[in-house]
Amino acid sequence: MSHFQISHTLLANLCRRNRFPVAQELMIFLGIRGSLPVFPENQAFATTHDLMLSSTDHQHPRCTLVQWLPAQGLLAVFPGSTVPHLKYIRKALTRGGAGANQMLTGYYADYRKGDHNLSSPPTRHRAFRQMEARYVLRTLDDEVYEADDRMEFNNPFDNLHAAWSMGVNHPDFASAGCQVVVGYPKCASRGSSPDSGPWASFVRNAYAQTQDYFPYVLLTGQDYYRAAAGTFAASDYRLRYGSVGEEVRLLQQRLKTKRFYEGIVDDKLGPRTMNAVLAFQRSSFGADAADGIVGPVTLSAL
């Protein structure tokens, strides 16, 4: 497996590269899809942590969740998952895709302190609720999420909560699309036993913060691995859902010129801009290449 190190500087550089806003005064959550902490038992805040690339198999927790304190230059890492478990994917295939989804990478501004599983009191527990719509994929034909699968913009309530999982080698975790951290929650079905595992540290750290909401940055392990392997120029950027800035304004102008964008020209890559990007990519490259990420190929075509 390929190892790499993450740090405050690397996180800041990746957010800058993707034109994501960074609120220095807040704790920020990050999801790294397809990576694991080298030392999954260590949830201490530090200036650096070692990760390794890992393929998501939809059966074992194969992602890393991060808590980042930009003002202090510190971060803590937690094993978990940012993809749905296979058992939910298989059930969804029998229901036209309903019941399982996978979030697109991007910046999501509002995960709010609140309970998960409101409709199921025995398993209801402290967590972080998804408060806004976002883009998700639903697969209708196989067990793999691909760019040409059905894409929706809505709020499927992909909360961030406990994974109900013993660890990275446990072949189960409780997610149909939610972001989850290894461990178990304090809830009625567990006899109100305390939060346990990495989840206990994650929820304790976050609930100790005075803030009520947490921005969430979702990227892939490959994004971090490549960034850790070298530097990139200020002009080498990527735009995704949630990006902001002058490059977004230029993107909107180009899409408008080509009659794909009918919204106002501002500096925010929101749903109308994202729809225009996807439509342009489908038209220019085909449905299987429409990933909503504006990189060198899409920029050159524009």
Structure tokens at 216: 């969430």
- Whole-number Å distance between alpha carbons of 210 and 281: 42
CB 66 within 8 A of CB 108: no
Residue 177 backbone phi and psi in degrees, to 5: 150, -10
Taking the domain 239-301, which CATH number applies?
Answer: 1.10.101.10
Q: Is the pLDDT of residue 55 over 80?
A: yes
Output the pLDDT for position 1: 63
Which residues on neighbouring strands pair with residue 128, listed in sequence order?
Answer: 113, 160
pTM (whole model) above 0.75: yes
At 236 the pLDDT is: 85
Cα(66)–Cα(236) distance, rounded to whole angstroms? 25
Place of tokens 């972080």: 128
Using DSSP, state whether 258 is helix, strand or coil: coil
Q: Residue ranges per domain, the chain? A: 3-225, 239-301
* pLDDT of 10: 97
pLDDT tens-place string over residues 161-186: 999 999 999 999 999 999 999 999 99
pLDDT tens-digit readout, 108-166 = 999 999 999 988 999 999 999 999 999 999 999 999 999 999 999 999 999 999 999 99
CA distances from 287 to 105, 219, 270, 290 (A): 18, 21, 20, 5
Burial 18-35 (b: 16+ CB within 10 A, else e): bbbeeeeebbbbbbbbbb
Give the pLDDT score at 232: 73
Query: How large is the average pLDDT for residues 270-284?
Result: 97
Q: What confidence score (pLDDT) does residue 234 get? A: 67
pLDDT of residue 201: 98
Percent of the chain exceeding pLDDT 90 equals 96
pLDDT tens column, 225-246? 999 998 777 678 999 999 999 9
